[in-house]
Chains A and B, each alone.
Chain A
Amino acid sequence: MEGLLAYLVFFLTFAGIYALLTLGLNVQWGYTGMLNVGIAAFFAVGAYTSAILTAAPNPAHMGGFGLPLVVGFAGAMLVAAVLATAIGAITLNLRSDYLAIASIGIAEIVRLVLKNEQWLTGGVRGITGIPRPVQGTGFDGPLILLVVLGLVGVVYAANERAYRAPWGRVLRAIRDNETAARAMGKNSLAFRLQAFAFGAAVMGLAGATYANVIGFISPEAFDPVFATFLVWVMLIAGGSGNNRGALLGALVIWGVWSGTEFAINHLPEAVVTQAGALRVLLIGVLLQIILVLRPEGLLPGRPPPPIVDDQRR
């Protein structure tokens, strides 16, 4: 019973981290139609930034600076947003395919830096001893889960607010008809940059959360399959453009992903060594099924109704 509860806490904590990533992608893809295939890069940059800022000093990598977690989280969001602004300034006024291609380039650079720049990131050995938000209470797991869910709640509220605001409306206009949006005098590049940086900051926050929850990070954790592909499947399954859909997608797909782990562990031993590949294959097929049968996702994005001005009626 206790083991099951502990697993449930672990499951929900990870679902929460994925929910943050999916909410970040929703601003970029769901709201604005920008294809970011380098989610892993922003996630990793956030994780390493927070790890370096908050961990105790260690000669194996830069820092740590032993700063409070709040500083680590804010730093993670800032660095991810700055990276997004730099790459966005080059690619966002080109067609969306180019952004997708450029974003895998960014992910590749980040991956190589994590692996090779030992003075900065500790190389393949990564960073250990990253402080957790709650330590030594006896209820660490559940309390950390509360912190994660709190962050998800804050980001969800911010996303919803942005969606209803005129800012979100302009993003949708750019997504659906950029020429018309520009004809209305909207600087589409500026709006896209803001949305791209906003989404990346949320992904950076997810990275910081991951680092400070797990307490240990290494380049392997930021494999594009887990950090990029799964998040895309989550958002598309849940419903692009819909924040509740993003949350639901993260929960459902994380459930499917974890469920396949259970299922595969019951298969013959020869297959179990290949379990990772089999799971990726299943998720790849699942994505195609969703795209064919229900491309709008479980909860399709529905923009709020237009604001009716009572006095003019």
Chain B
Amino acid sequence: MELLQLLLYGCVLGSIVALGAVGVSLTFGILGFANFAHGDLMALGAYVAFLVYVQLALPFWVAVPLAMAVTALVAIAFDRVLFRRFRTRAPVILLISSFGVALILRSAIQLIWGPETLLYVTDLQIAERWLGLRYHERQLWIVGGTVLLVVLLHLFLAHTRPGQAMRAMADNPTLARLCGIDTERVVLWTWVLGGGLAAFAGIGLAMDTRLQPDMGWFILLAVFAAAILGGIGKPYGAIVGGYVIGIVMEFSTVVLPANYKPVVPFAIMVAMLLFRPTGLFAGRST
């Protein structure tokens, strides 16, 4: 029973990590760099939702799409102002720049909302029980919302022209360009998807734990590990990777002190790099 409980918690954490990892995997595959600002984009989404839901007191179903839209726009803005300039240069410059963007976002969040810990709902919530399992209603919303977004993502990637162009570019950028795909358009879609999903993941993380300016930094390692596990440039792989990471992280508390839970994704990633560097679904390794 205790293991089933951990599986449930693992699915909640896995949903959060999976949605973050899709964005990382797509930007990694299409733009060729590991976006170190992705965790802080997640945090930004969570805080924008806080602004709309708590500070402006609008309904939650308004706050979530609005936060996703704002985060996507911020991601596009950073791409227009900075990342686009570095695209012709070595990809590592993009990585270093994104490291700087991560700190800009984090300190901006702290300047706007302060360094304190915040919550969407401050009154005490009692866990509900079902067949001996403890859960919170918000956890069901996180998992349910993730499933819905994954279905929408699948429909987009499989059945629309921009979605197909994105997959082609994530798979082989040079070949995609030769086929006449408008790369700048695909880049735009990448940030729309990556930013929007990051915002939802960030909101989920904030619902499951709480809001802190550095929340994105601490989830970043798990998100990267999931993207690598799933294979770079493979959005479906990233989703599987996210759930694997989330579930293993929760199960690790059986054998490891809970303090060390953040290290688990790193251990999985190292094992992966040693034994199967292309990821579970044979993404790119170079």
Contact = CB atoms under 8 A, between A and B. Distances in A.
Given A91-B273, A284-B100, A35 B263 contact: no
B122 interface: no
Nearest to A116: B259
A277 B111 contact: yes
Given A97-B95, A280-B106, A291 B34 contact: no
Interface of A: 33, 35, 37, 90-91, 94-98, 100-102, 104-106, 108-109, 112, 115-116, 224-225, 229, 232-233, 236, 274, 276-278, 280-281, 283-285, 287-288, 291-292, 295
28 contacts: A33-B92, A35-B96, A90-B274, A100-B36, A101-B34, A101-B225, A101-B228, A102-B273, A105-B221, A105-B266, A105-B270, A108-B266, A109-B263, A112-B259, A112-B260, A112-B262, A112-B263, A229-B99, A277-B107, A277-B110, A284-B101, A287-B96, A288-B104, A291-B82, A291-B86, A291-B93, A291-B97, A291-B100
Interface centre among B28, B92, B107, B260 (most CB of A within 10 A): B107
Interface residues of B, number: 47
Contacts of B103: 225, 229, 280-281, 283-284
B285 interface: yes
A102 B99 contact: no
A245 B114 CA distance: 36
Contacts of A96: 92
Nearest to B28: A97
A143 to B, nearest CB: 36
B107 A281 contact: yes
Given A98-B273, A276-B107, 10 more contacts: A101-B225, A102-B270, A105-B221, A109-B263, A116-B260, A229-B103, A274-B111, A277-B108, A278-B107, A284-B104
Contacts of B36: 37, 100
B89 interface: yes
B286 interface: yes
A225 B265 CA distance: 22
A291 to B, nearest CB: 5
B286 A95 contact: yes
A292 B34 contact: no
Nearest to A91: B273
B259 A101 contact: no
Contact of A278 (B85, B111, B266): B111
B228 A98 contact: yes
B33 interface: yes
B220 interface: yes
Interface in B257-276: 257, 259-260, 262-263, 265-266, 269-270, 273-274
Contacts of B213: 277
Nearest to A89: B274
A112 B220 CA distance: 16
A15 B241 CA distance: 43
A97 B33 contact: yes
B162 interface: no
Nearest to A292: B85
Question: Which 3 residue pairs spanning A and B have beta carbons closest together?
Answer: A105-B266, A284-B104, A277-B110
